[in-house]
Amino acid sequence: MTNDTMQGFMFDDMDIRGVHLRLDQGVKTLLDQQDYPPCVASLLAEMLIVACLLSANLKLRGRLSVQIRGAGPLKWVMAECRQLSDDLEQPFRVKGMAQVDGTVSPDASLIEMVADGRLIITIEPDQGQRYQGIVMVDQATLAECIESYFYQSEQLPTHIQLVSTGEGAAGFMLQRLPQTEANESQSDLDWELVHALAATLSQHELAHLPADQVLHRLFHEQQVKVFSPKPVLQQCDCSRERCGAAIIGLGKTAVDEILDEQEAIIIDCHFCNGHYAFDKVDCYVLLEQDAMPTTADPALH
């Protein structure tokens, strides 16, 4: 079983909440499947952390993805965290991938890797409206880009610290809750204090200390309420069924055209290297099933 866990917390008498996450096994499993340059692997690991921290902080039921698209050698990097309503007892699940086109120098900065990049955060709740926010990647680190995103999009002061060691990754986030006028000046002071304490956490401490020690180290003089820790699992959600649905979505004409030229339709999952092959018989069975009238609709009886 994994030790990768997310730990949410709140301050008793301040409008500030936070999340801590370690992701060692999950990051290792994901990176072992691919052969990314070290700085790309490190960015991808941090993006997995960010997707989880934001999901947890929003108490989201659904999917949240963080992606960066750019014009540099790193074309696209994406991480997704999902926690679906029908399996709330289950761990958070993450997946991620990067698409490199060209040479990324081993010590390239974020801006050199993604050149003219955009950071896109997409929230897809199980119920309710899909939301997407975009900011330029114009800061030196991913953490600063995320803070800038929150400042621009929601004006919510946010502190986020990320670390990736090659063996794993960790992250720590604090966010001020929306304010009412009545409590604003006290909240300003609370935020200044908590933010100043959080800023004393070193990268080495974040990389190596478990959540309870991080919280004790920073906030032993404050009243902090911690929630139940929640496991996080690196797991792709591709399946033969989902690939089949994609083939049905192409429609019979397009499927015929492809199968005139090749023996089978092959779908490779770029997240986990999953490989799905549908030969002519498979494809026609899918299309026929889809074309059959449904008899399950009770309104017809």
Kindly list the residues in this chain that would bind Zn ion in the complex (CB under 5 A).
Answer: 236, 238, 269, 271-272, 274
**Count of Cβ atoms closer than 10 Å to residue 252 Cβ:** 14
- Three-state secondary structure string covering 162-208: EEECCCCEEEEEEEECCCCHHHHHHHHHHHHHHHHHHCCCCHHHHHH
DSSP state at residue 87: G
Residue 30 vs 64, nearer CB to Zn ion: 30
Q: Nearest approach, Cβ of 93 to Zn ion (angstroms)?
A: 12
Which of 40, 50, 45 shows the shortest CA–CA distance to 26? 45
Counting every residue written for the chain, the total comes to 301
Per DSSP, the three-state class of 27 is helix
Q: Nearest approach, Cβ of 281 to Zn ion (angstroms)?
A: 24
Q: Nearest approach, Cβ of 238 to Zn ion (angstroms)?
A: 3
Element (H, E) at 83: strand 74-83
Residue 197 vs 233, nearer CB to Zn ion: 233
Which of 195, 192, 120, 111 shows the shortest CA–CA distance to 160? 195
**Count of Cβ atoms closer than 10 Å to residue 169 Cβ:** 29
Per DSSP, the three-state class of 42 is helix
Residue 80 vs 147, nearer CB to Zn ion: 80
Residue 162 vs 232, nearer CB to Zn ion: 232
Q: Nearest approach, Cβ of 263 to Zn ion (angstroms)?
A: 23
Q: At what angle do helices 240-250 and 252-261 cross, to 10 degrees?
A: 100
Residue 92 vs 172, nearer CB to Zn ion: 92
Q: Nearest approach, Cβ of 96 to Zn ion (angstroms)?
A: 11
Question: Which amino acid makes up residue 159?
Answer: H
Residue 92 vs 271, nearer CB to Zn ion: 271
Element (H, E) at 112: helix 110-114
- By the 8 A CB rule, do 274 and 236 touch? yes
Per DSSP, the three-state class of 114 is helix
Q: Nearest approach, Cβ of 63 to Zn ion (angstroms)?
A: 15
How many angstroms separate the CA atoms of 118 and 69, rounded? 5
Q: Nearest approach, Cβ of 159 to Zn ion (angstroms)?
A: 33
Q: Nearest approach, Cβ of 97 to Zn ion (angstroms)?
A: 9
Residue 216 vs 275, nearer CB to Zn ion: 275
Residue 27 vs 146, nearer CB to Zn ion: 27
